[in-house]
Structure 1
Amino acid sequence: MSDPPAGDDDAPPAVRPVLAQVGQVLGTVVAPATLVSALLFYFGYVSARAQLAYFGVDVDTLGYSTQDFVMRSPQPLLVPTLVLLLATAGLVAADTRARRWAAAAGDARVRPWVRALTVLGAVLLATALALLVAYPSLREWAPYALVTPALLGTGALLLARAAVWSPTSPTPRATVVLLALVVVASVFWATATLAQWSGTGQGKALARDLTALPAVVVDTRESLLPGDPTVEESVLPVADPTAPVEYRFRYRGLRLLAENDGRLFLVPERWSPAGSTYVLGPDDVRVRFRFVDDPP
């Protein structure tokens, strides 16, 4: 009777325990649902922080909740997630074919490939470590935050794969598990970098057309001293000079950037180097939202 065709269950004995060990470690450290929630929160936070920082606002001052950041995460995560899923599918398919070939080729033909993977992985890992050491000198290099985790994760992945394939010198499982965790950490780093770039890009895109934000007319008791040609200030008439101070100034040309707990974060409706973000509390202002200038 002929042997059944090789499949995923016919992997070398060293492969299944190692992969099982990796899954066991990751499952012990954090539950899948918790991991997904943490990812959504973290990447939503990074993206929102970068977007609002473009307007000079620290996202922590808005007091957003975890749910607010989770709701902001799909856009920065969409492209990286699709790329990661496609890359993972390709790697799994390539790994399956490689394991079948290694099982049929024999140790003599596998050893050169193992040595090549080991050398290449070591070179990439060493390059990534050199970049980490040189961070003080390379911090202004824009691609640094993406190139470094890419080299680090790829190098660790190749070394882990070579360790599993090695027919003569078995590598301790702990080493393979640690290399796998380095790959996971590198993916986190790279995706966080993409989320930051996405947030900054969203901020710049919004600044090119701030009229997309809701238009507001603001009345205040004290002058905002806008110092921006886009913001129009007018003085309201005083009905009774003996009455308590009422709303005295009116401002047009402002747009609502964000709101939380009654605080309004307003920006001029046209970007300029002299522009500022105004933070107004609910007790300081009277606000009207303008209709969109688009007749029905």
Structure 2
Amino acid sequence: MNEGSTGPRRLGSIVGALVAPTSLVTGLLYYFGYYHAYWFFAYFGVNSTVLDFSTADYLRRSLDALWVPMTVTAAVGLLAFWGHDLLRGRLTAEAPPQVLQYAVPTLTGVGFLLALGGFWSTLTETFLSRILALAPLSLSVGVTLLAYALHLRRAVAAAPPHPPPAAVDPSGDDAGSPGSDPDSVGTTDDDTASSTRLAPAARPEWAALVEWAVVFVLIGLGLVWAANDYAASVGESRARTFVAQIADYPSAVLYSERSLSISAPGVRETRCHDPKAAYAYRYDGLTLILRSGNQYVLLPYQWTRADGVALVVPQSDSVRLEFGPPPNLRAVAQNPMC
């Protein structure tokens, strides 16, 4: 049995029978979108769970979180497959390349150190934990190198033995030519034994399946861990960008039937004197982050992380929003009309 191809193929069919691929992909996208939203709004002090995001909202956010990881993973995987094809061509040549004598121990050593560092980082904080996604990638890459080194070792062991080169008679006649003395052929018992060595016994299918399952689980967990860290970093990075560009976002004037008692830097409350006004209070100095789950998330233009507050206002008939240009593009009246 060719474990290099049959094992993963058999494992994939088993997993596909237990878990629908679409459900698995949707679940992962939802997970990464959740962490993207969580850390984006956590930067403003808002718990994203109160915003009632839908599944579609999380799936859209997951694209921003996974664009770079998926691109990098696809590029690295493509290069790895091309490199494997080149090496496999060398393995099928007349003799195994001498580089394998150094490649297999090197891959084993490097893979062991990386896998050990990544695994240790899951138990406690290490120097790998200080760099974004380095610890999980160390685990995934280390396990991949260990598995590939073992694959190369088995491929070389399973390759058919190469016959020793024919001995040449000093007189110029080939030692193995017709008419020559069979006893003079330049072979020994050791050569005969090495040329007739038996191939290693094939392992049972369940052992190969368990091995590939453990390898894929460790690599997958490392990649999910790395993507999760990256999603959280992207969410917070997008929040920082929003704050840095907040002066360019459209203003959102909030009208309310009753006083909302908003106390935030740069937010001005105006009481309308018209007794017939449907909305008696007006609030300037705000911009809208998003509307989700029948709720508005508003941020003051003068928001700072030290003392800023974000507003979550339920959407209802008692409030309304009026949008306009950013404050730096228009002159705000000292006594705005309601």
TM-score range, shorter chain: 0.7 to 0.9
Instruction: Give the SS at the match of 2:46.
Output: coil
State the distance in 1 between where 2:130 and 2:259 align. Answer: 41
Residue type of the alignment partner of 2:325 = V
> Unpaired runs of 5+ in structure 1?
1-11
Residue type of the alignment partner of 1:290 = F
Deviations 1:118-152 (A, max 9, x none): 222112111222222223x779x542x51111110
Instruction: Give the SS at the match of 1:132.
Output: helix
State the distance in 2 between where 1:22 and 1:277 align. Answer: 49
- Tell me which residue corresponds to 1:282: 315
Residues 1:86 and 2:118 are matched in the alignment: no
- Tell me which residue corresponds to 1:254: 286
What pairs with 1:145-156 in structure 2 (closer than 5 Å)?
146-156=133-143
CA contact (8 A) 1:45 1:69 kept: yes
Residue type of the alignment partner of 1:177 = A
- Tell me which residue corresponds to 1:206: 242
1:159 to 129, 132, 146: 146
Instruction: Give the SS at the match of 2:287.
Output: strand
What pairs with 1:163-174 in structure 2 (closer than 5 Å)?
163-167=150-154, 168=157, 172-173=207-208, 174=210
Instruction: Give the SS at the match of 2:315.
Output: coil
Residues 1:176 and 2:225 are matched in the alignment: no
How large is the Cα RMSD of the aligned pairs? 2.9
- Tell me which residue corresponds to 1:189: 225
- Tell me which residue corresponds to 1:21: 10
Shift of 1:94: 1.0
Deviations 1:154-200 (A, max 9, x none): 11101111222223478841223311221122112112211111111
State the distance in 2 between where 1:229 and 1:128 align. Answer: 45
CA contact (8 A) 1:102 1:110 kept: no
CA contact (8 A) 2:33 2:59 kept: yes
Instruction: Give the SS at the match of 2:284.
Output: strand
Residue type of the alignment partner of 1:127 = G
Bigger CA radius of gyration:
2
State the distance in 1 between where 2:241 and 2:98 align. Answer: 57
Shift of 1:92: 0.6
CA contact (8 A) 1:47 1:198 kept: yes
Shift of 1:109: 6.0
CA contact (8 A) 1:131 1:148 kept: yes
State TM-score, norm by structure 1. 0.81
Residue type of the alignment partner of 1:208 = A
Residues 1:230 and 2:266 are matched in the alignment: yes
Shift of 1:25: 4.3
Residues 1:124 and 2:114 are matched in the alignment: yes
Deviations 1:173-231 (A, max 9, x none): 12233112211221121122111111111000001122444422223354444333311
Instruction: Give the SS at the match of 1:15.
Output: helix
Instruction: Give the SS at the match of 1:266.
Output: strand
- Tell me which residue corresponds to 1:239: 275
Shift of 1:261: 3.8
Shift of 1:106: 3.0
State the distance in 2 between where 1:86 and 1:107 align. Answer: 27
Residues 1:45 and 2:38 are matched in the alignment: no
Deviations 1:43-92 (A, max 9, x none): 22221221111111111111111111112222222222111111110011
Residue type of the alignment partner of 2:323 = R
- Tell me which residue corresponds to 1:6: none
Alignment size in residue pairs: 277
State TM-score, norm by structure 2. 0.72
CA contact (8 A) 2:297 2:313 kept: yes
